[in-house]
């Protein structure tokens, strides 16, 4: 079998795709790079917003046409597969294999089946399964828990992924050890709410560390960089900030979704904290990590949001001064309380407010990134950038960074970079040696003229 996997959604989905891909390889499948080469196409889906669902419909429509022309097995996995909405889509587009987020290990049974296979049960063994480490990569994801015990009124995750289940620390450390042996230098701990780790269903699990202590344990493994996502403000204790400061490997990057700056909207969202409590968490982070790089998620146009509520969000953005943000217009999702009980706002109003928030985000990101010009950053380079002759990567603070290639360095690795220029969403610099001197660059001459063109100029 030749299999091709398509992934939409969050980093958890990326991890799950790797898990299923490794299962397919163990069963003898060959992973190919395109749909045209494949006789099995598996789509890992997201159901958090309407847009990724529309993308899945579009891809499935194309695959159904291909299936009418040649033998092709179509599979769908992930959050959308767990919902009735997704199952209706699967019937319409003649999906052969359907796997919910808790049934990924059923992929073997699905391949052995001679008829349509739908696996939608949550399997306990998934939490103990350790996929092989990624090969040839310096970055890796590491799931520490699945599901969520919070019930935000806009969120479908508790329905699609079930209640929170923390992985045993021994399993986490064993998987980490395998990743390090494979050459991984940066690991991102994943979960719907990572800082609630070890407290499932409101009860502390015997023999499980707190998330803060788990950070300390992972930091003792020898890994060079540690990041984590996503956090819920309700569970972001001061001890987490202290553990970050005490553990050199933990990057000074904090993604702490606020969703709204209005207490009234936060109550309608059932976020379980106030604006003031959120700002108290930010103060604790900055007390322990003065140079913390802060990112957030914000939903614009939640049902009932007034202009005054939106102004509260804008003022909160200014009060915190985020480095970056994921911003979305509210998308009503079937199966959520907000879809059932609240009336949606006009799309035009949501788009207008989102446009204003994006403008504020660009202004703050430009100021924050500009402050790094002249500094020396540790950058994890991943490989070739969008422009020939350049490499791309990111700093410990998660800033996307582009540098010219230098003689002797053409691929992945962690290097010192002096930042020379910055835009709201990108930083540009030069690789330097231990003495702070620029390393000799690989010549980049255009065929028609001896002129250097930087990615910044091209943008």
∠ Cα 358 190 363 (to 5°): 15
Domain boundary among 325, 342, 367: 367
**What span, in angstroms and rounded, lies between the C-alpha atoms of 400 and 50?**
27
Residues 353 and 393 in one domain: no
Residue 82: exposure state from Cβ atoms within 10 A (0-12, 13-18, ≥19) = buried
Residues 138 and 216 in one domain: yes
Structurally, the chain folds into a number of domains equal to 3
Domain boundary among 73, 88, 122: 122
What angle separates helix 275-288 from helix 238-246, to the nearest 10 degrees?
A: 20
Is 459 a residue whose pLDDT tops 70? no
Is 184 a residue whose pLDDT tops 80? yes
Residues 271 and 328 in one domain: yes
Residues 115 and 130 in one domain: no
Q: What is the pTM of this model?
A: 0.93
Residues 235 and 314 in one domain: yes
- CATH number, domain with residue 394: 2.40.50
Please choose, from the candidates 81, 132, 88, 75, the residue with its C-alpha nearest in 3D space to the C-alpha of residue 102: 81
In the annotated binding site, the residues are: 10, 46, 79, 148, 152, 155
Question: What is the mean predicted confidence (pLDDT) over 286-290?
Answer: 98
Question: What is the mean predicted confidence (pLDDT) over 198-219?
Answer: 97
298 strand-pairing partners: 259, 327
Residues 322 and 398 in one domain: no
Please choose, from the candidates 113, 181, 185, 103, the residue with its C-alpha nearest in 3D space to the C-alpha of residue 381: 185
Residues 177 and 280 in one domain: yes
Is 450 a residue whose pLDDT tops 50? no
For residue 445, what pLDDT band results from cuts at 50, 70 and 90?
low
For residue 113, what pLDDT band results from cuts at 50, 70 and 90?
confident
Residue 382: exposure state from Cβ atoms within 10 A (0-12, 13-18, ≥19) = middle
Residues 193 and 285 in one domain: yes
Tokens 């700002």 correspond to what residue? 279
Token digits of residue 186: 């940066």
**All residues at 6 or more sequence positions from 421 whose CB lies less than 8 Å from its CB, including other chains:** 373, 427, 428, 429, 456
**What span, in angstroms and rounded, lies between the C-alpha atoms of 112 and 108?**
6
Is 451 a residue whose pLDDT tops 80? no
> What are the strands of the beta sheet with 117-119, ordered from one edge?
30-31, 2-7, 40-45, 73-78, 97-99, 117-119
Residues 322 and 196 in one domain: yes
Q: How many CA atoms lie within 13 A of 53 on its CB side?
A: 21
Residues 133 and 44 in one domain: no
Is 457 a residue whose pLDDT tops 50? no
Is 117 a residue whose pLDDT tops 50? yes
Work out the percent of the chain whose per-residue pLDDT is above 70.
97
In the annotated binding site for [4Fe-4S] cluster, the residues are: 10, 46, 79, 148, 152, 155
What is the structure's pLDDT at 456? 43
**All residues at 6 or more sequence positions from 141 whose CB lies less than 8 Å from its CB, including other chains:** 11, 12, 14, 15, 18, 187, 188, 190
CB of 413 closer than 8 Å to CB of 381: yes
- Kindly report the average pLDDT of the chain as a whole number: 93
Token digits of residue 199: 């407290």
What is the structure's pLDDT at 446? 43
- CATH number, domain with residue 108: 3.40.50.2300
Residues 172 and 87 in one domain: no
Domain boundary among 367, 389, 424: 367
**What span, in angstroms and rounded, lies between the C-alpha atoms of 368 and 324?**
9
Residues 131 and 112 in one domain: no
Is 111 a residue whose pLDDT tops 90? no
Which range marks the domain in which residue 262 is found?
A: 125-367
Is 407 a residue whose pLDDT tops 90? no
């Amino acid at each position: 079998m030749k299999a091709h996997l398509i992934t939409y959604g969050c980093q958890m989905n990326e991890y799950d795709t790797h898990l299923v891909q490794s299962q397919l390889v163990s069963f003898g499948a060959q992973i190919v790079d395109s749909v045209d080469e494949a006789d099995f196409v598996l789509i890992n889906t997201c159901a958090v917003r309407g847009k990724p669902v529309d993308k899945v419909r579009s891809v499935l429509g194309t695959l159904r046409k291909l299936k009418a022309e040649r033998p092709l097995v179509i599979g769908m996995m992930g959050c959308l597969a767990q919902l009735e909405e997704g199952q209706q889509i699967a019937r319409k587009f003649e999906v052969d294999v359907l796997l919910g987020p808790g049934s990924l290990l059923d992929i073997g049974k699905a391949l052995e089946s001679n008829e349509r296979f739908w696996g939608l049960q949550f399997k306990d063994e998934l939490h103990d399964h350790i996929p092989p480490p990624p090969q040839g990569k310096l970055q890796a994801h590491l799931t520490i828990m699945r599901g969520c015990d919070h019930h935000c009124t806009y969120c479908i995750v508790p329905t699609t992924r079930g209640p929170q289940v923390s992985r045993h620390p021994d399993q986490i450390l064993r998987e980490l050890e395998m990743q390090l042996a494979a050459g991984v230098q940066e690991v991102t701990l994943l979960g719907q709410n990572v800082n609630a780790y070890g407290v499932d269903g409101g009860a502390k699990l015997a023999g499980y560390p707190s998330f803060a202590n788990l950070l300390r344990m992972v930091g003792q493994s020898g890994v060079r960089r540690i990041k984590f996502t996503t956090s819920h403000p309700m569970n972001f204790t001061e001890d987490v900030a202290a553990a970050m400061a005490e553990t050199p490997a933990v990057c000074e990057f904090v993604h702490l979704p606020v969703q709204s700056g209005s207490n009234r909207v936060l109550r309608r969202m059932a976020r379980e904290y106030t604006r003031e409590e959120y700002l108290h968490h930010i103060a604790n982070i900055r007390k322990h990590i003065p140079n913390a790089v802060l990112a957030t998620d914000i939903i614009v146009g939640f049902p009932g949001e007034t202009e005054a509520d939106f102004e509260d969000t804008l003022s909160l953005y200014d009060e915190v001064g985020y480095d970056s943000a994921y911003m979305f217009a509210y998308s009503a999702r079937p199966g959520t309380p907000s879809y059932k009980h609240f009336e949606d706002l006009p799309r035009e109003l949501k788009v207008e407010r989102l446009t204003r928030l994006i403008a504020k985000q660009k202004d703050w990101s430009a100021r924050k990134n500009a402050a790094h010009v002249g500094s020396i950053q540790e950058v994890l380079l991943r490989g070739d950038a969008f422009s020939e002759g350049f490499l791309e990567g990111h700093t410990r603070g998660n800033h996307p960074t582009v540098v010219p290639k230098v003689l002797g360095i053409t691929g992945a690795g962690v290097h010192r970079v002096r930042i020379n220029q910055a835009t709201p969403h990108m930083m540009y610099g030069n690789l330097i040696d231990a003495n702070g001197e620029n390393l000799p660059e690989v010549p980049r001459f255009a065929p028609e003229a001896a002129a250097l063109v930087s990615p910044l100029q091209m943008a």
